Amino acid sequence: MLGLFQGTSHISAITPHNDLAGDSLPLTQRLRLSAVFCALAVLLSALISRPYAEMGICDDGPYVFMAHTLATTGHIVYSGWGAPMIGWQLYLGAAFIKLFGFSFTAVRCSTVLVAMALAFMLQRTFVRSGIPESNATIGTLALVLSPLYLTLAVTYMSDIFGLFAIVICLYGCLRALQASTERSAILWLCFAVASNAICGTARQIAWLGVLVMVPSTLWLLRSRRRVLIAGAAAALVGALFIFACMQWLKYQPFFIPEHIFSSKFSVIHALGVVRYSLLNIPFLLFPMLALFVLEIRRKRQQSIVLLLIVFFCFLFLALYPSHIRGIFNVVLEPTMGDFVNPHGIVYEAGLRGEPPIFLPRSIRAVITIISLCGLGGVAALLFRSRRRSVATNSGLEISWKQLGVLLAPFTFAYALFLLPRAGITEISDRYLLPGLIGLLICLVRCYQERINTSLPVVSWILVGIAAMYSVTANHHSFSFYRARVALAAELQAAGIPDTSVDNGWEYNFGVELKHAGYLNESTIKIPAGAYTPVPPPSGICPMVLYEDTPHIHPLYGISFEPDACEGPAPFAPVHYSRWPYRTPGTLYVVRYTQTGLR
């Protein structure tokens, strides 16, 4: 096997004709057709799901308005919501507004473009991680066609932009490790630093690439003195750039600062949030975990013990302590995440009532059993000592030890930064994305080294099933959002002002921004006195995040149930599509007891 790494600091020399750029490689590999296929798969899946709705989705509404402000005024103006810097994401969104005019869909198209580029880079990163082309393609599709990634890819959230900064930094670090000359290694390190520093302006936590991943790479290259000195200098420049950005950000009006440590931190709450966030990982990795189910046949006695351990650990995480109503929503996959859940929509909308279940309990039970058996199979496989030598088709390979030095410190640092947030508030399932990349790389390499050099045909089927679910759930979500926009239009046509309707906090944020220009967030420091205290709501239907939207005094609200609050209002309900069910979902207008803020 050419280019095999034997230690943490040794880089084997390769002959030029074995490099990826060499003419001896197949045409499909030289043209990166597999990576292009992954990018096009994201685009096609997004188009099929019809992802258009003229309102905010989760946090992206305020960001869309910021992009519009940048496009019209040339200035970045924060809106009093969210801690991400947004950075280069705003400029790309503003460019799409200039090209296609302002709409939520036009701005979100910029995210789709980045999601496609990320899928391309991710496939190349898998290859550089010691995974053959076909296996790398399957591993990439398992992530980019997952419901979590595909939903975020058609919003204007900062997660895809931040993940792009992380992946491109990882790719640059891998190329530096595998470079055949010192000059090439230095250039790739500079590329990793520059790309992560600039792209990390979208989401600050992505700067862990410069602060952790690049130093880890320099540790692996410490025997090359010139590379070490030049790489350290580049990392220092990157760190100074990050410091300058943070200093600039600190003085921006209406920016929401988020401190790493807080006196409100609770260890018990943090552990509860973390265990809850981990429960959806088996579902998100289902196409890969299912491949390990058959491994429980070998060493059956040992496998049964490991499987029982996995099952009881999962059950413990799910049930203790449990604050979610309904045991099956806690135990069965997917659990109640923000973006991935049994309802098949972005759930935290703040509407009244419970949305209909999208994924039946029987299917969830099957998914849960297979996922847990897959985890048991992985655990059983790790006890086997037999490994295979796998040709990567690239003439290069990276050792497990090197991969661990690259990924483990970054993952630990990433989790460490999230822990204080978990001890104060909730953390969304979308925060799992960076960790899923490392897990998928390890799972694919584990399979090809201990079971078979090529992933089986059934893996394509499993990825296809996951993609169909993702597209269907995405279509369901956007159909649901379009129904909320239609109800808002119906009420306005009847002479009801938008400030008299509670259409969920996502829609309400857009209304508040049109009337005030910023959200009334209590943590705003600049300008002083921007926050206006709001008395707590009264009545049986208090508005979610009412403090942020003081201009809204709801007389009506939107509900999944017709008899919520004070009962139905004299407005027609709106139906929304629920592929593949024939029965559509329905949203109703209900009366509120009073304005809710008096």
Burial class for 49, CB neighbours closer than 10 Å (0-12, 13-18, 19+): buried
What would the pLDDT profile of 16-74 be if each residue is shown by its tens digit? 333 334 445 565 566 689 999 999 999 999 999 999 999 999 999 999 999 999 999 99
DSSP 243-260: HHHHHHHHT-TT-----S
CA distance 319 to 321: 6
Contact 475, 319 (CB under 8 A): no
φ, ψ of residue 586 in degrees (nearest 5): -135, 135
Nearest to 478 by CA among 102, 94, 113, 56: 56
What is the structure's pLDDT at 414?
92
User: What is the model's pTM?
Assistant: 0.89
What residues contact 78, with CB distance under 8 A and at least 6 apart? 66, 252, 253, 254, 255, 256, 518
The tokens for 136 are 């790398």
Contact 86, 63 (CB under 8 A): yes
3-state secondary structure of 48: helix
The tokens for 279 are 């429960």
What is the structure's pLDDT at 371?
86
The tokens for 4 are 């095999």
Residues facing 589 on adjacent strands: 558
Per-residue model confidence as pLDDT tens for the chain (598 residues): 333 333 333 333 333 333 334 445 565 566 689 999 999 999 999 999 999 999 999 999 999 999 999 999 999 999 999 889 999 999 999 999 999 999 999 999 999 999 999 999 999 999 999 999 999 999 999 999 999 999 999 999 999 999 999 999 999 999 999 999 999 999 999 999 999 999 999 999 999 999 999 999 999 999 999 999 999 999 999 999 999 999 999 999 999 887 766 656 666 556 666 666 677 888 899 999 999 988 776 655 565 666 666 666 666 555 555 444 455 566 778 887 788 888 888 876 789 888 998 888 889 888 888 888 888 888 878 776 555 544 444 445 789 999 999 999 999 999 888 876 654 566 788 998 999 999 999 999 999 998 999 999 999 999 999 999 999 999 999 999 999 999 999 999 999 999 999 999 999 999 999 999 999 998 898 999 899 998 887 777 888 889 999 999 999 999 999 998 999 999 999 999 988 888 999 999 999 875 443 3
What is the structure's pLDDT at 476?
93
Buried b (16+ CB within 10 A) or exposed e, 115-143: bbbbbbbbbbbbbbbbbbbebbbbbbbbb
User: Residue 244 CB: number of other CB atoms within 10 A?
Assistant: 10
What is the structure's pLDDT at 32?
87
Burial class for 567, CB neighbours closer than 10 Å (0-12, 13-18, 19+): exposed
Nearest to 77 by CA among 513, 411, 597: 513
What is the structure's pLDDT at 548?
94
What residues contact 84, with CB distance under 8 A and at least 6 apart? 63, 158, 162, 202, 203, 204
Contact 356, 586 (CB under 8 A): no
Q: Is the peptide bond before 356 cis (omega within 30 degrees of 0)?
A: no
User: Residue 522 CB: number of other CB atoms within 10 A?
Assistant: 13
Contact 553, 598 (CB under 8 A): yes
Q: At what angle do helices 400-422 and 159-177 cross, to 10 degrees?
A: 150
What would the pLDDT profile of 331-380 be if each residue is shown by its tens digit? 778 887 788 888 888 876 789 888 998 888 889 888 888 888 888 888 87
Contact 479, 157 (CB under 8 A): no
Straight-line distance from the first to the last Cα atom of the chain, in angstroms, rounded to the nearest whole number: 74
Q: Is the dihedral of CA 254, 258, 262, 267 positive or negative?
A: positive
> Across the beta sheet with 501-502, what order do the strands follow?
501-502, 556-559, 585-591, 574-576
What is the structure's pLDDT at 268?
59
* DSSP code for 542: P
Query: Do the bridges between strand 501-502 and strand 556-559 make them parallel or antiparallel, or are there none, so unpaired?
Result: parallel
Q: Is the peptide bond before 527 cis (omega within 30 degrees of 0)?
A: yes
Amino acid identity, position 39: A
Residues facing 591 on adjacent strands: 556
Phi-psi region of 273 (alpha: psi -120 to 50; beta: other; left: phi over 0): alpha
What is the structure's pLDDT at 3?
36
Q: At what angle do helices 60-73 and 88-100 cross, to 10 degrees?
A: 70
Contact 427, 233 (CB under 8 A): no
What is the structure's pLDDT at 346?
82
Residues facing 559 on adjacent strands: 352, 588
- What CA–CA distances, in Å, run from 344 to 131, 353, 476, 579, 584? 33, 16, 7, 10, 13
